[in-house]
Structures are given as structure tokens and as C-alpha cells.
């Protein structure tokens, strides 16, 4: 594996470095999110008509055709980035799934990036979610900036991403994560839309979920280990050949299954309604079904859509329809007529390996 050119240090250029690393290094995809440790009970007599199996659900008060979210990826300057977001938005609208955009911090360093986040005309009816790094609340951004991000997208919610591993490895990373939960709490009370938290591939632990719940967060996206490794992506942007910090930490974190179980165990004891989102290495409709069985309300995927989104919205639509067929087939073979029969129904699990 060779290291590419030195990192582009501008916020907008960094995005292109990231896209290149995901598309060019197959080992950025780490595998082993934990789904292969779970087997489900097949029903030979499901007593259902496959075509009548109802995959629909709701998220942020809007209907979805099935519980899928296109996870946060991009936004910024240049035609390539704008095209990716538009293709994703058109496909999400055509198929009735949710979409979140990549970090909107670039709005405040490169105002020309705003167009890449103006997606409401392409996606008038689906949940759209904005995105800002929580650590930016310690680096000059405040509730006013977050509101601008929400308004640019006409968003139904705002993701705050928690990415201490990525920032630790990133050449120009922001590493001051001190006293963030208080700032998150202030932000939650000042936002007109729900604030959601997500990791970016290393998972949320129970202590994180407790802190964030106390700060007023009610939507939790685990974004666990096993899919895209941000430590490895940032490794490619560190110029020194000898510097392997990003490789040492490329498999750091909680797997998606571990994080889902841990997060669910905290949330079931809470009185307020909460939403649990599974992401990090989900790759097919069976992973989605397993996630819903483990208590998730929604399933996110990022990297699997990137190459298709560079091509066309039609390619993304094909991919989403394939996922929906897989998810519906899994429900049929488990004897579940609708998503409520799948959700947190651990009796559908036949066996699980010891590690969890």
C-alpha cells in the first residue's frame, strides 16, 4: 500500500482526499461488524404473502418505505461533490428513504459550498438531516452556525458527529473534546429541530449514551466498527511514510453489534421515547433485519452508496431497491408481517456467538 500525495489541508480539499481513500483502498472497509455472529430462525411455514410484507416505518414524523437512511457523507465545493449529494437526494426521494449530508462546517470556510446542501427541491418529502462535528463547538462554531446549517438544507434534524479517533489521527484534527456535553445540552435547547448524535465508525458506549441523554439527546446513531475505518482513511493523509498511527487504530472501537446492544440497554431504562439508529458496516438487507431485531429503529449506510452516487441517481435507486427486496425477503422468511413484529424481537435470534 502506498501513501498518496500529501493531504489537502483546506476543509473542502479534505473531503476529496476522503472520497479518494474510500474509493481506492479496499481495506478502508474493515468487515466484522458482528452481524455474522447472529443467526436467525428460518420459518418454513411463514403464513405470509411475500408481496404483502409491509416494510414501511416512520422517522422524524415522516413515512419511509423501509427503515433506511443514507448516512452522512459529503457536501462542499466543486461539481463532483454537488453531483454526489444531488444523486443521493433524488434517489432517496424516489425510494422514500431518509438522507443525511456530510459535515456542513465547510459552509463557514467555503461559502460557495452552500449549493451542495440545497437539496430540498430534489427531496421535498423525505427526512433530510444536517451534520456538524460536535468538537466544532469548541473550535468557534455555535448555535447560530448550527441553525444556518439546518436552514441551508431545510433539515428535519441535525446530526452532531462524535469522532475523537478521526480527529486524533487527522493531520489538522481538532482535538479538544473537553466539556462538550454541556455545549451539546445548550445546543439541544436552542435548535428548532431534533439534534441527533452519531459516531463515525468506532461506536457509542453506554457512558456516551448516558451523557448524551442527560444533555437532552433522544436520537442515537451508533456508527460502530466494522465498516468504513476513519482511522485508516486519515492514515493516508499523513505524509510521513513511517507514521502508522492510523493503522494502529484502524480497528479501534466497539463493533456495531456491541454498540447497538450497549446503547439499547441504556435506552430501554429511560422514560422519554428515543430512536436508535444502527450503522457501521451494514451491507445488506439481512444486516438491516438483524439490526432491527437488536432494537434499532432505522439502519444507516454510507460507503456502499458512494460509487453509485458518483454515477447517477438511477444507480443509487437500483441499490436501494435491492436492499428493500433483501429486507422484505428476510422479514418474510422470519414470519414478520410488518416492522413492528421485527423490532426488538430477540426471540427471532436462533444463536449468537459467545463474544456478546
Q: Which residue is nearest to ligand FMN (CB)?
A: 227
For residue 117, report the phi and psi dihedrals to the nearest 5 degrees. Answer: -105, 0
CB of 274 to ligand FMN, least distance (A): 19
Query: Rounded to an integer, what distance in angstroms lies between the CA atom of residue 323 and that of residue 305?
Result: 11
Task: Kindly state the smallest distance separating residue 75's Cβ from ligand FMN, in Å.
Answer: 7
Query: Least distance from C-beta 233 to ligand FMN, angstroms?
Result: 8
Which residues in this chain contact ligand FMN in the complex, by CB under 6 A? Answer: 18-19, 22, 71-74, 102-103, 131, 159, 161, 198, 200-201, 223, 227-228, 279-281, 301-303, 306
Q: What is the spatial distance between Cα 15 and Cα 38, in angstroms, rounded to a whole number?
A: 35
Residue among 233 and 334 whose Cβ is closer to ligand FMN: 233
| Least separation in angstroms between CB 193 and ligand FMN | 16
Spatial distance between the Cα atoms of 19 and 236, rounded to a whole number of angstroms: 12
Q: In the structure grid, which three cell numbers stand for residue 68, read together?
A: 433506511
From the list 82, 13, 18, 95, the residue with the least C-alpha distance to 325 is 95
Q: Residue 228 or 328: which CB sits closer to ligand FMN?
A: 228
Residue nearer to ligand FMN on the CB measure, 19 or 348: 19
Distance from C-alpha of 1 to C-alpha of 4, rounded to nearest angstrom: 9
For ligand FMN, the closer CB: 93 or 234: 234
What region does 60 belong to: left with phi over 0, alpha with psi -120 to 50, or beta? left
Shortest spacing between CB 311 and ligand FMN, in angstroms:
15
Give the E-state strand segments of the chain in sequence order.
38-40, 57-59, 62-64, 68-70, 98-100, 128-133, 157-161, 195-198, 219-221, 275-279, 298-301, 349-352
199 or 336: whose CB is closer to ligand FMN?
A: 199
Amino acid at each position: 500500500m502506498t501513501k498518496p500525495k500529501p493531504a489537502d489541508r483546506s476543509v473542502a480539499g479534505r473531503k476529496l482526499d476522503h472520497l479518494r481513500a474510500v474509493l481506492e483502498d479496499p481495506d478502508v472497509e474493515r468487515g466484522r461488524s458482528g452481524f455474522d455472529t447472529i443467526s436467525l430462525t428460518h420459518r418454513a411455514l411463514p403464513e405470509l404473502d411475500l408481496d404483502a410484507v409491509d416494510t414501511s416505518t416512520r422517522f422524524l414524523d415522516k413515512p419511509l418505505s423501509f427503515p433506511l437512511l443514507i448516512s452522512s457523507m459529503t457536501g462542499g465545493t466543486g461539481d463532483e461533490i454537488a453531483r454526489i449529494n444531488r444523486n443521493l437526494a433524488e434517489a432517496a426521494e424516489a425510494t422514500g428513504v431518509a438522507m443525511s449530508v456530510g459535515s456542513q462546517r465547510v459552509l463557514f470556510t467555503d461559502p460557495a459550498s452552500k449549493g451542495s446542501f440545497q437539496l430540498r427541491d430534489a427531496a421535498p418529502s423525505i427526512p433530510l438531516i444536517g451534520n456538524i462535528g460536535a468538537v466544532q463547538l469548541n473550535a468557534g462554531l455555535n448555535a447560530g452556525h448550527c441553525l444556518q446549517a439546518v436552514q441551508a438544507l431545510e433539515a428535519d434534524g441535525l446530526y452532531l458527529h462524535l469522532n475523537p479517533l478521526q480527529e486524533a489521527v487527522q493531520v489538522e484534527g481538532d482535538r479538544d473534546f473537553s466539556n462538550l456535553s454541556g455545549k451539546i445540552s445548550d445546543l439541544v435547547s436552542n435548535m428548532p429541530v431534533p439534534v441527533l448524535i452519531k459516531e463515525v465508525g468506532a461506536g457509542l458506549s453506554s457512558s456516551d449514551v448516558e451523557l448524551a441523554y442527560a444533555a437532552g439527546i433522544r436520537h442515537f446513531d451508533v456508527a460502530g466498527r466494522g465498516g468504513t475505518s476513519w482511522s485508516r482513511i486519515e492514515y493516508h493523509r499523513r505524509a510521513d511514510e513511517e507514521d502508522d498511527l492510523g493503522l494502529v487504530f484502524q480497528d479501534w472501537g466497539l463493533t456495531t453489534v456491541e454498540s447497538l446492544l450497549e446503547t439499547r440497554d441504556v435506552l430501554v431504562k429511560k422514560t422519554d421515547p428515543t430512536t436508535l439508529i444502527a450503522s457501521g458496516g451494514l451491507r445488506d438487507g439481512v444486516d438491516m433485519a438483524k439490526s432491527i431485531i437488536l432494537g434499532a429503529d432505522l439502519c444507516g449506510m454510507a460507503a456502499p452508496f458512494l460509487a453509485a452516487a458518483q454515477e447517477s441517481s438511477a444507480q443509487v435507486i437500483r441499490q436501494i431497491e435491492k436492499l428493500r427486496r433483501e429486507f422484505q425477503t428476510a422479514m418474510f422468511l422470519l414470519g414478520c408481517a410488518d416492522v413492528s413484529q421485527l423490532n426488538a424481537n430477540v426471540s427471532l435470534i436462533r444463536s449468537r456467538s459467545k463474544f456478546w
